[in-house]
Structure 1
Amino acid sequence: MSKHSVSRRQALLACAAIALGGAAPARADWDKIRESGALKVAVYNEFAPFSDKGAGIDVDLAGALAARLGLSLNLMPFPADEEVADDLRNMVWKGHYLGYGPADVMLHVPVDNRLMSDNPQVRIFAPYYVETLRLARSAAAIPQFQGIDSLAGKRIGVEKVSIAGMLMLGEGEGRFREQVRIYPSALEALAALKAGQLDAVLAKRSEAEAALRGDPAFPLEDLSFQRMPRSGWAVGMAVRKDDEDLALRLQAALNELAASGELRALFARHGVQQVRP
């Protein structure tokens, strides 16, 4: 190795430390990843349109990030635990007691200050999407939408144990409770909407866009709730806290994907409009 290449690496590590607000990493994690030839990326299982059965937005993003780093992709799908903190422990900084994980990076992590504070073992960064809720309605059943009152007497689908379900069931001290229909997933609720079995579905915007693909028969509406921020919530990536070099490289790769339009096109392939913070 030449003195020139050593100095370049040292400079890069110094820049990473400054950019990410920490000291130079104690372990040469990037060197280990580069030597392995593959980037291990953790993605949620059964999480369409982002990752399900080896396909989705996050799967494509994982491949694009690996390619930008000159690596092959080692995808690590995993089932969601009860808390995001459990997922971070299992897939980022420790590994699961059943023997899988940790990965080099985990995708679709909420970029949330409290989550960061409660999980000092990880570094959460590089937001690449802002998720929100949308009401998908049948234009035939609800020709004009004038706010939440337009849902009076209508059949409304939601996913079980979801933010949408909680908000819809609790709205107006439960005034829509008798109208709400619970489905195992938002995709099943949206399929029931298209089949004429529901009049509307409250779901995450990504789910609604991917399922309906801009069909004018099922327009999407922005429905606000007091307990839900209108701006939605950002998701990004997580690596181990001391993996500054890897974090810097992943952030740079994401920036390149965004600047080239590849990130937007990646989302569009799945019918989803890409929105960054």
Structure 2
Amino acid sequence: MSNNERRRFLRAAGALALAGLIPPATAAAAELELQQPGTLRVAVYANFPPYSAAGKGVDIALGRALAEHLGLQPQIVEFPADEDMKDDLRNMVWRGHYLGTKPGDVMLHVPVDNHFATINPQVRIFGPYHLETLAMARLPERVPQPSNSVAETFEVFTTEKIGVELDTHSSDFLLHILDGRLQPNIVHFPSLAAAVEAMRRGEIAAAMGTRTELEGAIGGGGDIALDPLGMPELRIRPWPLGMAVKKDSGQLADALSNALAELQRSGTLARIFADHGLTHRLP
């Protein structure tokens, strides 16, 4: 997974006035080991819509909801992605950045994967809250619906142009399939949102990337179709997004897991995605 693919209380003075509104988890929150008592520091990726960008996005809303459920004040930290996610976990979870940025108490948008967890023993990965997958946004009048066949799905891009984000699995995949015949028609963009805008102008006929990012970029317009991609040649299956804390922060992980379960049971998690015009998919 590339660094582009990537993922936002109550203080003691206000606690007395709002005592009747504080959820039952508040009492236990006082026992959690946090960098700043009473505050949950939540690390999310910067410039990563629709998950987190300029104070808005589903990860930012989820981080706030988790903190509030625990009776804590949310402190959202948007950080730029490093070379890979192992670096991000080091910088924002278990050690901190060498330039002085403190890590968060929890980081969101972390793939819940056994192998990935094994090669990052300094953190505890848990709490899957959304299932992400690869997809294609397309102009239906120019690009047919994708099938399970790479040849059938992508042959059209020997004549039509398709957009992808730089330095992503989608880019690498398109550059190498069909013996490289698509390369002249692959257009790279700094973001999937930029690719979708180019599609609206008719400059490209399709874009490939993560489904949620494409859905957020498309918005509610019906002129662009969005289809998941599931052919085996992709060599990547849908992946659950979750959270990470320091390895020894088991009590915090349990509290966050319980809070997430309650947000899911109450429908709050689904509403967070719906409020951002997105489809929530359970892992």
TM over 0.5: yes
The answer to whether the 8 A contact 1:107-1:236 is kept is: yes
Letter of the 1:156 partner, please give it. I
Residue 260 of structure 1 deviates from its aligned partner by 1.0
Query: Matched residues in 1 for 2:56 and 2:109: separation?
Result: 14
User: Residue 227 of structure 2 is aligned with which of 221, 229, 232?
Assistant: 221
Residue 223 of structure 1 deviates from its aligned partner by 2.9
The answer to whether the 8 A contact 1:41-1:104 is kept is: yes
Q: Which runs of 5+ in 1 are unaligned?
A: 1-11, 13-27
Task: Determine the structure 2 residue equivalent to 1:201.
Answer: 207
Task: Determine the structure 2 residue equivalent to 1:109.
Answer: 110
3-state SS, counterpart of residue 258 of structure 2: helix
The equivalences for 1:48-197 within 5 A come to 48-142=49-143, 147-197=153-203
Query: Matched residues in 1 for 2:117 and 2:53: separation?
Result: 26
TM-score normalised according to structure 2 size: 0.83
User: Residue 259 of structure 2 is aligned with which of 240, 253, 271?
Assistant: 253
Residue 124 of structure 1 deviates from its aligned partner by 0.2
Letter of the 1:266 partner, please give it. I
Structure-2 change in CA distance of 1:82 and 1:227 (3 Å): farther
Query: Matched residues in 1 for 2:41 and 2:247: separation?
Result: 16
Matched residues, number: 251
Query: Matched residues in 1 for 2:261 and 2:237: separation?
Result: 22
3-state SS, counterpart of residue 33 of structure 1: coil
Q: Does 1:240 align with 2:246?
A: yes
The equivalences for 1:10-25 within 5 A come to none
Identity of matched residues, %: 43
Kindly report the root-mean-square deviation, in angstroms, between the aligned alpha carbons of the 2 structures. Answer: 2.1
Residue 229 of structure 1 deviates from its aligned partner by 4.5
Q: Deviations over 1:126-161 (max 9, x none)?
A: 011111111111123236656333434111111111
Letter of the 2:276 partner, please give it. H
The answer to whether the 8 A contact 1:29-1:246 is kept is: no
Residue 42 of structure 1 deviates from its aligned partner by 0.5
TM-score normalised according to structure 1 size: 0.85
Task: Determine the structure 2 residue equivalent to 1:4.
Answer: none
Letter of the 1:126 partner, please give it. G
Structure-2 change in CA distance of 1:79 and 1:144 (3 Å): closer
Structure-2 change in CA distance of 1:223 and 1:33 (3 Å): closer
Query: Matched residues in 2 for 1:110 and 1:30: separation?
Result: 28
Query: Matched residues in 2 for 1:142 and 1:154: separation?
Result: 8
Q: Deviations over 1:68-87 (max 9, x none)?
A: 00011111111111121111
Residue 194 of structure 1 deviates from its aligned partner by 1.3
